[in-house]
Amino acid sequence: MSGLDKMRETFRRDQVWNFLMPRYTYEDVLDTSKGPILYLEDVTVSFDGFRALDDLTLYINDGELRCIIGANGAGKTTMMDVITGKTRPDHGSVFYGQRIDLLRLSEPEIAALGIGRKFQKPTVFEQHDVLVNLELSMRMDKRVWTTLSARLSGEQRDRIDEVLEIIGLKNEAYKRAGLLSHGQKQWLEIGMLLMQDPRLLLVDEPVAGMTGHETERTAELLTSLAGQHSVVVVEHDMEFVRSIARTVTVLHQGSVLAQGDMDTVQNDPRVREVYLGD
Amino acid sequence: MSYLQQYFQSDRAGNSMLGALLAIAILVPILNLAVPESSVFHVSTYTVTLIGKYLTYALLALAVDLIWGYCGILSLGHGAFFALGGYVMGMYLMRQIGDRGVYGNPELPDFMVFLNWQELPWYWYGFDMFWFAALMVILVPGLLAFVFGWLAFRSRVTGVYLSIITQALTYALMLAFFRNEMGFGGNNGLTDFKDILGYSLQSDYTRAGLFAASALILVLAYLLCRNIVNSKLGRVVVAVRDSEDRTRFLGYRVEYYKLWLFVLSAVLAGIAGALYVPQVGIINPGEFSPLNSIELVIWVAIGGRGTLYGAIAGAILVNLSKTWFTGVLPEGWIFALGAMFVVVTLYLPRGLAGLITRKQAQT
């Protein structure tokens, strides 16, 4: 485009400059009227010739709880990396609602649009108290200058208490996060996601290292979140998947092998072959 | 004990340190100027200048602690910002010499006459005015840190790679400033200063004034840094240090936070340099030496990083022992410094400040 064209484009009279546009929150722009909240189409990611994702096409419906299973190396974590902006695919498209192209946004922008992510290894701010962990995760303006003068309002404090209640860490609020047990850290990280007030939660192996009782409570929590939020759970624990799943997607070598309810998937001969190993 | 409680509780060790700094800011000049030399309470001008120098080092250490202790950015090139601040102040002081130089040229500093330069280079313009120089003390290190930090943090250079390129930065600047064509006095640097703001640098009053200014600016910088690390911004910065990815996926633009803090730290280092030069009377490219930058990281490690007051204490204590040691056993100093560093790393991973917090936890 020549300089003149660029100038014409910049000064077109039928548009408003970006910096003059009002700031939207994701509620204003997220359009899920056709059903899905997340569209992944023909997404391919390769690392040194190895195709971690191979023409992956996957739709997640608004408000659904979806479990994704697959052997190690099937591309589950890479898929999350692509959605959250950490990895750029070689080709393919990723849309959030019908209008937001996630491939053009950075990680913080995607997070601000209401996509929260829990890592495989529980990642919390170990030197901070549980309370501060939640405070920092709260959905709000996260620019440097506003953060410098930010103070907790009563309303925000109530929200933190609410989440502390949900994740069962009320008595640990003033404890350093580094001192929590493994399971408690998992819960805290889920709590940090909740503080973000997300529309879409990507949860990577939430029950790794949890006791049976903790696993049960996690299942309850995730089920209760579905509906208001869309939840994508990656998990190895088949018992756990069976207890929460409505729809299960099986990934294999970077693309979808089978999809459906738990029984259909488990009886699929291809799935039995590659995943369940018989 | 909780973090939030700690924040609202007064920082006891820090407050005592502030009190001590204010006390010496007032007492030392009085003991120097008003107490007769025969008295045991008299503080010699030599000592005033020496402690004044330590105070500027302390400010530099504070700047490093802010980014290393709280944000985990280990800069091994902070001496560069210190030296740049020093050079800016040096340029102002050079212009103040006027026609009292060896060659008596009212316009050109001596080294330019010596090099047969006919007129002042454009980048020396304006340095005859103090306000301009003072502005540049902030802008020059700040801009360099901004450009450098923008490139480094945006490309997500972290950890040891970042440390290495900061080291390269200060080394490159050292080589550049050694060259005569740069117009900053080559390897002799800038020296033979006469006066600052019209007051003779040789006078005891000026020296006492510079001392008091160093102490007061250190106090102000400490308060500023404390406010920052106690704010929510400070908590985000610690979060970046402990888990950068988590912070990013929570929606924080990590690189802006790092950049902002890095620039502030560079500006503080520049101010420290500007206070240092009129007290020691010379600035030369040796100040850019990578060794200086490494040594100052050791001050912070010994004092205890991530505490602010620890950095100040570390800088003053290490330099006091350096002065004493180089008097007694000059060749031994570098070994003593190494030994201190090893002992602190092994037995006091949180530095001398760790001793204080441990004691507080026990009581």
Residues from chain A contacting residue B9 (CB–CB below 8 Å): none
Instruction: Give kind and range of the element (H or E) at residue B63.
Output: helix B45-68
Domain boundaries, chain A: 32-276
Is A8 or B92 the better-scoring residue by pLDDT? B92
Residues 6+ apart with CB under 8 A from A227: A63
Q: Is A174 within 8 Å of B5 when comparing Cβ atoms?
A: yes
Q: Is B4 within 8 Å of A129 when comparing Cβ atoms?
A: yes
Q: Which of B69, B353, B74 is nearest to B238 (CA)?
A: B69
Mean pLDDT of B243-268: 95
For residue A106, give the 3-state DSSP assignment: coil
Q: Which of B289, B294, B228, B275 is nearest to B57 (CA)?
A: B275
Q: Which of A153, A124, A129, A131 is nearest to A141 (CA)?
A: A153
CA pair distance B268, B49, nearest whole angstrom:
20
Q: Is B3 within 8 Å of A132 when comparing Cβ atoms?
A: yes
Residues from chain A contacting residue B241 (CB–CB below 8 Å): 127
Structure tokens at A66: 């979806």
pLDDT in the model for residue B122: 94
Mean pLDDT of A80-93: 93
pLDDT at B8 over 60: no
Mean pLDDT of B265-290: 96
Cα separation values, A86 from A54, A122, B17, Å: 17, 18, 44
Beta-bridge partner residues of A38: A60, A96
Per the prediction, chain B carries an average pLDDT of: 92
| Phi and psi based region of residue A76 (left: phi greater than 0; alpha: psi -120 to 50; beta: remaining) | alpha
CB A189 within 8 A of CB A124: yes
pLDDT at A21 over 70: no
CA pair distance B293, B166, nearest whole angstrom:
10
Triad A145, A142, B245: Cα angle to 5°: 120
Q: Is A108 within 8 Å of B257 when comparing Cβ atoms?
A: no
Instruction: Give kind and range of the element (H or E) at residue A44.
Output: strand A36-47
pLDDT tens-digit readout, A142-172: 889 889 988 888 999 999 999 999 998 999 9
Residues from chain A contacting residue B245 (CB–CB below 8 Å): 86, 119, 123
Q: Is B233 within 8 Å of A147 when comparing Cβ atoms?
A: yes
CA pair distance A214, A220, nearest whole angstrom:
10
CA pair distance A44, A51, nearest whole angstrom:
7
pLDDT in the model for residue B4: 45
In this structure, what DSSP letter does residue A22 have? Answer: P
pLDDT tier at B146 (50, 70, 90 boundaries)? very high
pLDDT at B116 over 70: yes
pLDDT at A246 over 90: no
CB A37 within 8 A of CB A242: no
pLDDT in the model for residue B10: 60
Residues from chain A contacting residue B249 (CB–CB below 8 Å): 84, 107, 111, 116-117
Nearest-neighbour CA in chain B from A238: distance (Å): 27
pLDDT in the model for residue B1: 39
Q: Which of B69, B88, B148, B10 is nearest to B287 (CA)?
A: B88
Count of beta carbons in the 10 Å neighbourhood of residue B349: 11
Q: Is B250 within 8 Å of A150 when comparing Cβ atoms?
A: no
Q: Which of A142, A143, A190, A197 to mutate to test the interface with B (most CBs of B within 10 A)?
A: A142
In this structure, what DSSP letter does residue A149 have? Answer: T
CB A133 within 8 A of CB B243: no
pLDDT in the model for residue A14: 79
pLDDT at A276 over 70: no
pLDDT tier at B5 (50, 70, 90 boundaries)? very low
CB A163 within 8 A of CB A134: yes
Q: Is A143 within 8 Å of B239 when comparing Cβ atoms?
A: no
A:B CB pairs within 8 Å: 90
Task: Identify the weakest region by mean pLDDT among A4-13, A210-219, B13-22, B29-38.
Answer: A4-13
pLDDT tens-digit readout, A87-137: 999 999 999 988 888 998 899 999 989 999 999 888 999 999 999 999 999
Cα separation values, A212 from A219, B97, B276, Å: 11, 80, 64
CB B25 within 8 A of CB B222: no
Mean pLDDT of B304-329: 92
Domain with B340, as residue range(s), is 3-362
CA pair distance A132, B236, nearest whole angstrom:
10
Count of beta carbons in the 10 Å neighbourhood of residue B205: 12
CA pair distance A61, A79, nearest whole angstrom:
16
Percent of chain A topping pLDDT 70: 95
Task: Identify the weakest region by mean pLDDT among B168-177, B239-248, B293-302, B347-356.
Answer: B347-356
> Cα dihedral angle (B329, B331, B336, B341), rounded to 10 degrees?
150
Q: Tokens 């609202």 sit at which residue?
A: B8
pLDDT tens-digit readout, B17-50: 999 999 999 999 999 999 888 888 899 999 999 9
pLDDT in the model for residue B309: 93
pLDDT tier at A275 (50, 70, 90 boundaries)? low
Residues from chain B contacting residue A139 (CB–CB below 8 Å): 251
CA pair distance A172, A48, nearest whole angstrom:
45
CA pair distance B116, B103, nearest whole angstrom:
12
Q: Is A84 within 8 Å of B231 when comparing Cβ atoms?
A: no
Is A209 or B8 the better-scoring residue by pLDDT? A209
Q: Is B250 within 8 Å of A111 when comparing Cβ atoms?
A: yes
Is B206 or B1 the better-scoring residue by pLDDT? B206
pLDDT in the model for residue A74: 85
pLDDT at B78 over 50: yes
CB B353 within 8 A of CB B361: no
pLDDT in the model for residue B245: 92
Mean pLDDT of B94-120: 91
Q: Is B235 within 8 Å of A131 when comparing Cβ atoms?
A: no
Structure tokens at B35: 């107490």
CB A79 within 8 A of CB A251: yes
Is B151 or A243 the better-scoring residue by pLDDT? B151
**At residue A161, what is the residue type?**
D
pLDDT in the model for residue B361: 63
pLDDT in the model for residue B3: 47
Closest residue of B to A85, CA-based? B249
Percent of chain A topping pLDDT 90: 44
Closest residue of A to B241, CA-based? A125
pLDDT in the model for residue A226: 87
pLDDT at B322 over 60: yes
According to CATH, the topology of domain A32-276 is: Rossmann fold (3.40.50)
pLDDT at B82 over 70: yes
Q: What residues of chain A have any CB closer than 8 angstroms to a CB in chain B?
A: 84, 86, 106-108, 111-112, 116-117, 119, 123-129, 131-132, 135-137, 139, 142-144, 147-151, 174, 176, 192, 196
pLDDT in the model for residue A164: 94
Is B169 or A31 the better-scoring residue by pLDDT? B169
Number of structural domains (chain B) is 1
Structure tokens at A176: 């350093």
Per the prediction, chain A carries an average pLDDT of: 88
> Cα dihedral angle (B303, B305, B307, B312), rounded to 10 degrees?
40
Nearest-neighbour CA in chain A from B89: distance (Å): 30
